[in-house]
Amino acid sequence: MDLTIILQQLVNGVSLGSLYGLVAIGYTMVYGVIRLINFAHGDIMMVGMYFAFTGIAMMFLPWWAAFLLSMLASALVGVIVDRVAYKPLRNASRISALITAIGVSFFLENSFLVIYGGVPKAFPIPSVFNGAINIHSVIFPNIAIITPIVAIVFLLILLFILHKTKYGMAMRALSFDIDTVRIMGINVDLVISLVFALGSFLAALGGIFWAMRYPAINPLIGIMPGLKAFAAAVLGGIGSVTGAALGGFIIGVTEILVVALFPALAGYKDAFAFLFLIFVLLFKPTGILGEDLERGRF
Amino acid sequence: MKIDRNNILTILAILVFFLFVWWGSNHLTAYAVRVWEDTLIFLMLSAGYNLINGVTGQFSLEPNGFVAIGAYVTAILILTPAQKESMFIIEPMVPWLANLHMSFLPALIIGGIVTAFVGFLLGFPVFRVRGDYLAIVTLGFGLTIRVVSNNTITITNGSLGLKGLPTYTNIWWCAVWAVIAMIVIMRIVDSAFGRAMKAVRDDEDAAIAMGINTLWIKQIAFVTAAFFEGVGGGLLASLITIISPTVFTFFLTFELLIIIVVGGLGSMTGTALATVVVVWGSELLRVVEQPMNIFGLHIPGIPGMRMVVFSILLIIMMIFAREGIMGQKEFSWDWIFNKIKGKRA
Amino acid sequence: MSEVILKCDKLTMRFGGLTAVRDFSIEIKEHMIFGLIGPNGAGKTTAFNMITGNLTPTEGKIHFYGQDITGLKPYKIVSLGMARTFQNIRLFSNLSVLGNVLTGFHHKLKYNLIDAILRTPRFYKYENEMKEAGMALLESVRLADKADFKASELPYGERRKVEIARALATGPKLLLLDEPAAGMNPQETLDLMYFIREIKDKFNLTVFLIEHDMKFVMNLCETIAVLDHGVKIAEGKPEEIRTNPDVIKAYLGDINA
């Protein structure tokens, strides 16, 4: 295989990985503050795709407005999900909350099935994202270049929020000690809602770019990338935002490269992330950048 | 003698149940019989699932994977060599499987044993993690089984699946297996092994401190569940006659999860009640997905609506009625007699 | 001279860069009540967890009745005759009091899964035997009338006794108690003291306990070791410990901090 193809695949992998990373951030942040694997997070991706689809194809909004509105609306969906389904279970066992999350996941998938039908919809790709550029006779699709840039820009914005704003710092503090945050006079529920809002906002962003990559969308489309993003979050070290982004890149690049190098294994690509996950959990349960959040259970 | 009385009552109850099966197989409509077959298979599946999730407290999401394994193994064993040859059109089946053929009962049992063995192997890595991580890892297993069955074309016929399975499954097969599963599982629960499982659920570290090999206890629950889910898969395969990688999805696990939550995590009798309620409720809800004509007004069917109802039901259960119908309690003869006598249960 | 049954030889436990316990050596002789005390965070529970097998020491050896048990799995150590309780009582809250005690018999279970499924005579024989033994044990700790109560329904002091009874069911020669008096009022503490003496004689036990409550330890234990910042700073009879300047400093330091 020549270098051009490897380079193309690498860019492709980074692009895919940055999508996993965007979604993984939501898993990791929610887990950080309320120790819940938000099963419905992958479905928020799907919600984002359908909202953007509705904005462009049915309301004829300019693409940027449709994207932004979709992300904001998805953030709202995330917050509502937390308030309605998870908040009543804050003091229940973690398993109860997890079962509820599975319920929410099925609810989102099937309500969108009811609303939009099961037939895949063609996602309208704005012309900016179509086409390809040619660098030294190597062809890169625009979308593959734009995706990681967008992802990194939003990651930087998120890191700024987490480290420089009062509520961002409260989010980080919440991962360690809910009571201290409460004493500091910060509204814990508000902070948790903000975490859901930010996570869902980024998941919708990931979803929209996913839809431009694979433009046939259906109500179950969020499941697979959602699970892989979760694997990425664990790989990066659950609770760590940069870890989640890093984990996403690793899983995306590995997936693309393994398929490129061993085409015979292409059929198994959806199982890779899980082998990764099991491997990480067995040998380094804290992930690459994470702290051992499970220790508290002992 | 208390124990004798309870045994006699249990035997009587089972006889009454089989009497109902006999009556039903002669007098119920084909549709009703079919729903009862589903109910009984689901009873076996969810009893096994509740053993690991409810009794042992190891929240896992693998049943669809186990059911798929049992279904494939049984299907491969009951298909005739001629059927297999005509079906495997992408690539021929591996010869030692292509010529294997046996009757239903050994096929079911082998399906169960193979699934139990896979469960046993799977148990070692997955039980190194606890809690919600276990859920995700086992979910990944179910998914991996689907990917594997899609790709091992010389064994499973890939995405084309297996068709034209002989229809051996009838209500008697389902009833007998459901009764066996319930008896075996309830006896395990009501023994030192069941106590150890509940100990693991309540406090794993304390269970270890009692000298209990908790990995082993989890394995007993997991392998038992896998066996019955494998057999259930075999029964389902012969009932639906067509299996493919997309038949046994996470949706199946979700249905079982609803059943054990509604029945009460850890209660087998609760599971039995809930299976009837959920499977029949699900059939009644089918109405909302079918087009209707009311006074000339045409209402189109709404696919997905049933699941919307079910997921809302599950969320509401978790928020307001986490204990389900039975909590962790069991319906028992002693309990009834104590109720009658007005004694403390 | 009675036999040394537990011997810890230079146990060291490091977590990353932090040394929780350093060069911890003790010898516990048969039939004694041995106390390990120390200010909060001194490494008492870490030392305990190394002995029970919950932690594998970074360095050092543990011998139990002459057998090297370093790094053995906790459930294996239990079957050798060592049982423990937890600082924050950890009963199986959904099992009955009797059910809790019966779990202690599990490691010497005399029937197998097939017996349980087929309900063989062996199953009934040993199941009844276990239940009788469990009741007898509850009888001897005066909890027989509570046998059918859910563990979570009992008051605190009785929960502690159930936890100890459950540990006794495993048939220990050495009983390890992790802060047994924690959370108890003075009367309950006094009761517990008599209770521990009583079961020690009745079950022919050696008792090793860690405790925060000085008075409790001083009145109960024959030998006391003191741990401070992961290091053993003293060992001796209660009166020696009471007057040991290092111990006083460690505890006063704790009060000032």
The domain ranges of chain A are: 12-130+188-283
C237 near B CB under 8 A:
no
In C26-90, alpha helices (H): 44-52, 74-79
Count of residues making up chain B: 345
Q: What is the CA radius of gyration of chain B?
A: 21
Give me the percent of chain A exceeding a pLDDT of 70: 95
Comparing C-alpha atoms, which of C212, C241, C211, C207 is closest to residue C224? C241
Q: Which residue's entry shows tokens 């809910």?
A: A178
B51: helix, strand or coil: helix
Q: Which string of b and e fits A125-146 if b means at least 16 CB within 10 Å?
A: beeebeeeeeeeeeebbbbbbe
pLDDT attached to residue B72: 97
pLDDT exceeds 70 at position C257: no
Tens of pLDDT, residues C120-129:
999 999 999 9
CA distances from C185 to C157, C180, C188, C251 (A): 9, 12, 5, 22
In the prediction, which pLDDT does B345 show? 42
Inside any domain, residue B195: yes
Which of A106, A259, A284, A286 is the best mutation test for B, with the most CBs of B within 10 A?
Answer: A106
Report the interhelical angle of B305-320 vs B268-289 (nearest 10°). 140
Identify the pLDDT of residue A298: 25
Please say if the pLDDT value at position A15 is more than 90: yes
Query: What stretches of chain B show up as alpha helix (H) in DSSP?
Result: 2-27, 30-50, 63-78, 81-87, 95-98, 104-126, 131-151, 153-156, 171-189, 192-202, 204-209, 214-240, 250-263, 268-289, 305-320, 333-341
Report CB contact under 8 Å: B206, C106: no
CB atoms near residue B180 (< 10 Å): 13
Distance from the Cα of B212 to chain C's closest Cα (Å) equals 6
CB distance C92–B192 less than 8 Å? no
φ and ψ at A112, to 5 degrees?
Answer: -70, -30
Selection from B92, B95, B111 nearest residue B165 by Cα = B111
CA of B204 vs chain C CAs: smallest distance (Å): 9
Q: Which chain B residues contact residue C169 at CB under 8 A?
A: 210
DSSP of A203-241, one letter per residue? HHHHHHHHHHHS-EE-TTTTHHHHHHHHHHHHHH-TT-H
Is A297's pLDDT higher than 70? no
As a whole number of angstroms, the distance between CA B84 and CA B153 comes to 12
Question: Which among B58, B318, B320 is the top mutation candidate for probing chain A, defined by the most A β-carbons within 10 Å of its own β-carbon?
Answer: B318
Separation of alpha carbons C111 and C125, rounded Å:
9
Q: Is residue B301 domain-resident? A: no
List of residues 6+ apart from B194 with CB closer than 8 A: B55, B188
B221 belongs to a structural domain: yes
Q: How far is B16 from chain A (nearest CA, A)?
A: 36
B268: closest CA of chain A, how far (Å): 19
pLDDT score, position A276: 80
**Residue C90 is nearest to which of B191, B206, B220, comparing CB atoms?**
B206
**What is the predicted pLDDT for the residue at B304?**
78
What is the residue range of B59's domain?
A: 21-249
Structural domain includes residue B33: yes
Closest by Cα among C16, C8, C46 to C229: C46
Contacts of A297 in chain B (CB under 8 A): 130-131
Nearest residue in A to B151, CA atom? A267
Most confident of A28-37, C94-103, C214-223: C94-103
Any alpha helices (H) in A39-165, and if so which ranges?
41-53, 63-81, 94-116, 142-164
Res A94 pLDDT > 70 = yes
Interface of C with B in 153-192 (CB under 8 A): 166-167, 169-170
Q: What does the angle CA B33 – CA B35 – CA B39 come to, to the nearest 5 degrees?
A: 115
ipTM for the whole complex? 0.90
- The count of residues in chain C is 257
Q: Are A196 and A81 in contact (CB under 8 A)?
A: yes
For residue range C219-228, what is the model confidence (pLDDT) as tens digits? 999 999 999 8
Interface contacts (A, B; CB < 8 Å): 124
B274 falls within a domain: no
Which chains reach chain A with 3 or more Cβ–Cβ distances below 8 angstroms?
B
Taking CB atoms and an 8 Å limit, are A111 and B133 in contact across chains?
A: no
> Nearest Cα to A217, choosing from A115, A65, A133?
A115
pLDDT of residue B294: 67
Torsion of CA C146, C148, C152, C154, to 10 degrees: -10
Say if the Cβ atoms of C75 and B199 lie within 8 Å: no
* List of chain B residues whose C-beta atoms are within 8 Å of the C-beta of residue A230: 136
**What count of Cα atoms within 13 Å lies in the side-chain half-sphere of residue B343?**
8
Q: pLDDT tens track of chain B, all 345 residues?
A: 456 788 889 899 999 999 999 999 999 999 999 999 999 999 999 999 999 999 999 999 999 999 999 999 999 999 999 999 999 988 889 988 999 999 999 999 999 999 999 999 999 989 988 778 888 889 889 989 999 999 999 999 999 999 999 999 999 999 999 999 999 999 999 999 999 999 999 999 999 999 999 999 999 999 999 999 999 999 999 999 999 999 999 889 999 999 999 999 999 999 999 999 999 998 888 877 777 666 666 666 777 788 888 899 889 988 988 888 888 788 888 777 877 776 554
Name residue C98's amino acid.
L
Q: At which residue do the structure tokens 């521990």 appear? A: C196
Chain C residue at shortest CA distance from B55: C94
CA dist A261 and A269 (Å) reads 12
Does B12 fall in a domain? no
Alpha-carbon distance of A155 to A166, in angstroms, equals 18
Is the CB of residue C120 less than 8 Å away from at least one CB of chain B?
Answer: no
List CB contacts of B113: < 8 A, sequence separation 6 or more. B227, B230
In angstroms, the CA A36 to CA A82 distance is 11
Query: What mean pLDDT is reported for chain C?
Result: 90
Distance CA B331, CA B169 (A): 29
HSE-up (13 A, CA, CB side) for residue B181:
35
Mean pLDDT, residues A239-268: 89
Chain B residues whose beta carbon lies within 8 Å of the beta carbon of residue C119 = 187
- Tell me what pLDDT residue B68 has: 97
Residue B10 makes CB contacts below 8 A (sequence gap 6+) with B333
d(Cα A157, Cα C37) in Å, to the nearest integer?
Answer: 51
The DSSP result for A155-178, as a single string, is HHHHHHHHHHSHHHHHHHHHHH-H
> Among positive and negative, which fits the CA dihedral B315, B317, B320, B322?
negative
Q: Is the pLDDT of residue A294 over 60?
A: no
- Whole-number pLDDT of residue B48: 97
Q: How many pairs of residues across B and C have Cβ atoms under 8 Å apart?
A: 95
- C65 touching B (Cβ < 8 Å): no
B133/A234 touch (CB, cutoff 8 Å), yes or no: yes
- Contact predicate B223/B123, CB 8 Å: yes
Over 50: is that where the pLDDT of A296 sits? no
Report d(CA A104, CA A112) in Å as an integer. 12
Burial label, B19 (beta-carbon count in 10 A; 0-12, 13-18, 19+): exposed
Residues 6+ positions from C241 with CB-CB distance below 8 Å:
C37, C218, C224, C226, C234, C247
A36 to chain B: which residues are within 8 Å by CB? 132
Number of domains in chain B: 1
Quickly list H helices, chain C: 44-52, 74-79, 97-103, 113-118, 121-140, 156-169, 186-202, 214-220, 238-243, 245-256
The model's pLDDT over A129-141, given as tens digits with 9 standing for 90+, comes to 888 888 877 788 8
CA distance C252 to C3: 36
Subunits in contact with chain C (3 or more CB pairs closer than 8 Å): B
Please state the rounded mean pLDDT for residues C221-238. 91
Place of tokens 């689907």: B146
